[in-house]
């Protein structure tokens, strides 16, 4: 009898642990004291991952995949294929980006 | 009534032990799938949240000069015109770009000395030394990120030489090193004053990379931006636009993995279904016997439902916990490359990992629910068959 309830008990324990981890993580991010004064002074968006790629910190322009690099119209609008979501439901899937002469518009 | 359900529970727990092969196959496949997808999703959420924090701290509006559809240096003559726009609090100049050291690219930022008034708070994220002051303009004093300090082996008081694009050697003096805590933002940064950055990038006189516009607290940035649209050759980026761009970038990278994972998930659902069919013959006899003993169709569905729920929650929850540990403590080797693309992750900091409720419930939704369906449906089909016929078919 004891052996057969090990799996259900573990299922409960892991699920409860995950919920606690989720709550802890959300609270941790909510209460996080990052240096906003530094970020406001420097004012550069994004973060320091991706330093091999010059686009990672450039406001907007190189966020878009450069499939054809500098060929006119070569900027390719990246559209997120979000996880279990309907891309068409997401605003940025349909909206055009001001300042861009899109060769093709989604939606 | 309660006793009946308790007995059904015990019976379904016993089934988990009895059908060992099916239990093991489902556990292993679900464990692998949820570990991988949770590591990617939690990391994607963390990266997005970090980017959001940075975008929130960025200027209300960033003004770029566009010529022939490309961003070029902008004249500081625009400052007067922009400052006159109703709702604009102040305009700061900024010159920034990239410097190559070895095979890596780092970010060089030249800050407007008038913006270094610390009115927005004291900058505390320094491991040693100090941050820049307006008096540092033109002196070659820099504050560097921990990654660069480690790579060049420089500390406060040392000099460092950077080669510019025009292959000139430029000497800088390190007055501060950012701390580990701010590495996610500062690891690749070399921060200096505006005139030093202009010299380094050989910017033409009176030109900067972009202009940072801060609007008055009671103004809506979009409304202020709308008043600038008649200015020639400018592109105005607001925080919302930047945020959408970054979400699209990280979301798309996460999406590539998600697509692959969806295929894997379908395979897993098929495995679960095939296991349900494989044990079907044995199960058919068992169901027939149970119905002869007085079990109802609902009782049989309840047994299978509990079995699947236990298996699904055990494997998914454990997989997500492992995925979290894999991402948060081991930096998700192999998987993180998909998210970072051509980027690399400096060893100086860990991946930002966020276990969001949305991701957790999403993973449950695509693992536990299909498992319930793929096991309960065959059980229901068995349960509605005449018991005698079911046992005869199973015995045949």
Q: B69 and chain A: CB distance < 8 Å anywhere?
A: yes
Contact A82 B248 (CB under 8 A): no
Rounded to the nearest 5°, which phi and psi values hold at B64?
A: -115, 155
Assess contact for A64 and A104: CB atoms under 8 A.
no
> What number of CA atoms fall less than 13 Å from residue B339's CA on the CB side?
31
Low-confidence ranges of chain B (pLDDT < 50): 342
Residue B352 lies in a domain: yes
User: In the predicted model, what is the mean pLDDT of residues A76-84?
Assistant: 36
Q: How many CB pairs under 8 A join A and B?
A: 241
Distance (Å, rounded) from C-alpha B355 to C-alpha B350?
15
Residue B227 lies in a domain: no
B223-B226-B227-B231 Cα dihedral, nearest 10 degrees: 150
Assess contact for B254 and B39: CB atoms under 8 A.
no
The reply to whether B123 and B6 lie within a common domain is: no
The reply to whether B19 and B131 lie within a common domain is: no
Distance (Å, rounded) from C-alpha B17 to C-alpha A7?
9
The reply to whether B255 and B391 lie within a common domain is: yes
| pLDDT (0 to 100) of residue A53 | 39
Last residue of a domain, one of B158, B182, B208: B208
Q: What is the pLDDT of residues A3-43, one digit of tens each?
A: 668 888 899 999 999 999 999 999 988 887 667 778 878 87
Rounded to the nearest 5°, which phi and psi values hold at B169?
A: -85, 125
Contact A36 B41 (CB under 8 A): no
Contact B181 A35 (CB under 8 A): yes
B204 DSSP assignment? P
Structure tokens at B208: 């900067």
CB atoms within 10 A of CB B131: 21
Question: Into how many domains does chain B fold?
Answer: 2
Residue A75 has pLDDT above 50, yes or no: no
Residue B67 lies in a domain: no
| pLDDT (0 to 100) of residue B313 | 92
Q: What is the pLDDT of residues B33-42, one digit of tens each?
A: 889 888 888 8
pTM across the whole model = 0.72
The reply to whether B179 and B259 lie within a common domain is: no
The reply to whether B251 and B383 lie within a common domain is: yes
Distance (Å, rounded) from C-alpha B358 to C-alpha B273?
27
| pLDDT (0 to 100) of residue B198 | 94
Residue B274 lies in a domain: yes
Residue B189 belongs to domain spanning? 74-208
Please determine, for the modelled complex, whether the ipTM score is greater than 0.90: no
**B93: alpha, beta or left? (left if phi > 0; alpha if psi -120 to 50):** beta
> What number of CA atoms fall less than 13 Å from residue B315's CA on the CB side?
26
The reply to whether B273 and B334 lie within a common domain is: yes
Residue B292 Cα, gap to closest chain A Cα (Å): 25
Residue B220 lies in a domain: no
Structure tokens at B233: 């050759």
Assess contact for B95 and A80: CB atoms under 8 A.
no
The reply to whether B21 and B114 lie within a common domain is: no
| pLDDT (0 to 100) of residue B142 | 94
Provide the pLDDT confidence category of residue A73 given band limits of 50, 70 and 90. Answer: very low
B351 DSSP assignment? P
The reply to whether B202 and B80 lie within a common domain is: yes
The reply to whether B281 and B384 lie within a common domain is: yes
Residue B255 lies in a domain: yes
Residue B321 lies in a domain: yes
> What number of CA atoms fall less than 13 Å from residue B347's CA on the CB side?
3
Contacts of B245 in chain A (CB under 8 A): 60, 63-64, 97
Residue B69 lies in a domain: no
The reply to whether B192 and B270 lie within a common domain is: no
The reply to whether B33 and B79 lie within a common domain is: no
Q: 3-state DSSP call for residue A10?
A: helix
Domain map (residue ranges) of chain A: 1-33, 64-107
B residues 107-126 lying closer than 8 A (beta carbon) to A: 107, 109, 111, 115-116, 118, 120-125
């Amino acid at each position: 009898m004891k052996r057969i309830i090990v799996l259900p008990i573990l299922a409960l324990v892991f699920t409860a642990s995950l919920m606690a981890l989720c709550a802890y993580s959300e609270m941790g991010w909510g209460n996080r004291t990052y240096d906003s004064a530094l970020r406001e002074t420097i004012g550069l968006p994004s973060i320091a991952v991706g330093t091999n790629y010059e686009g990672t910190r450039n406001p907007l322009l190189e966020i878009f995949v450069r499939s054809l690099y500098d060929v006119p119209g070569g900027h390719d609008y990246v559209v997120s294929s979000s996880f279990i979501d309907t891309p068409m439901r997401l605003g940025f899937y349909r909206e055009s980006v001001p300042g861009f002469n899109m060769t093709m518009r989604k939606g | 009534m309660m006793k009946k359900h308790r007995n059904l529970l015990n019976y379904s727990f016993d089934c988990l032990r009895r059908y060992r092969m099916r239990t093991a196959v489902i556990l292993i496949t679900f464990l692998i799938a949820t570990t991988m997808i949770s590591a990617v999703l939690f990391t994607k959420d963390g990266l997005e949240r970090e980017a959001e924090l940075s975008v929130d701290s960025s200027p209300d509006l960033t003004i770029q000069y566009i010529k022939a559809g490309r961003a070029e240096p902008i004249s500081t003559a625009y400052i007067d015109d922009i400052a006159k726009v109703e709702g604009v609090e102040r305009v700061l100049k900024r010159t920034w770009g990239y410097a190559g050291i070895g095979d890596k690219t780092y970010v060089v930022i030249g800050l407007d000395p008038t913006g270094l008034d610390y009115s927005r708070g004291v900058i505390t994220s320094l491991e040693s030394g100090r941050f820049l002051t307006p008096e540092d303009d033109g002196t070659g004093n820099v504050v560097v990120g921990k990654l660069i300090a480690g790579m060049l082996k420089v500390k406060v008081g040392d000099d460092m030489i950077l080669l510019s694009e025009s292959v000139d050697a430029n000497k800088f003096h390190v007055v501060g090193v950012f701390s580990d805590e701010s590495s996610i933002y500062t690891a690749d940064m070399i921060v200096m004053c505006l005139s030093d950055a202009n010299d380094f990038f050989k910017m033409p006189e009176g030109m900067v990379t972009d202009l940072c516009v801060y609007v008055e607290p009671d103004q809506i940035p979009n409304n202020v931006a709308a008043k600038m649209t008649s200015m020639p050759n400018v592109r105005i980026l607001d925080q919302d636009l930047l945020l959408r761009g970054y979400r699209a970038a990280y979301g798309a990278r996460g999406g590539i993995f998600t697509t692959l994972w969806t295929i894997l998930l379908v395979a897993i659902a098929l495995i679960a279904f095939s296991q349900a069919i494989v044990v079907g013959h044995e199960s058919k006899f068992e169901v027939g016997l149970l119905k002869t003993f007085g079990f109802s169709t609902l009782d049989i569905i309840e047994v299978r439902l509990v079995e699947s729920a236990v298996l699904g929650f055990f494997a998914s929850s454990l997989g997500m916990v492992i995925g979290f540990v894999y991402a948060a403590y081991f930096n998700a080797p192999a998987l993180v490359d998909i998210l970072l693309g051509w980027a690399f992750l400096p060893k100086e900091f860990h991946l930002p990992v966020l276990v969001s409720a949305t991701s957790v419930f999403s993973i449950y939704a695509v693992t536990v629910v299909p498992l319930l369906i793929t096991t309960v449906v065959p059980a229901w089909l068995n349960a509605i068959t005449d018991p005698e016929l079911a046992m005869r078919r199973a015995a045949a």
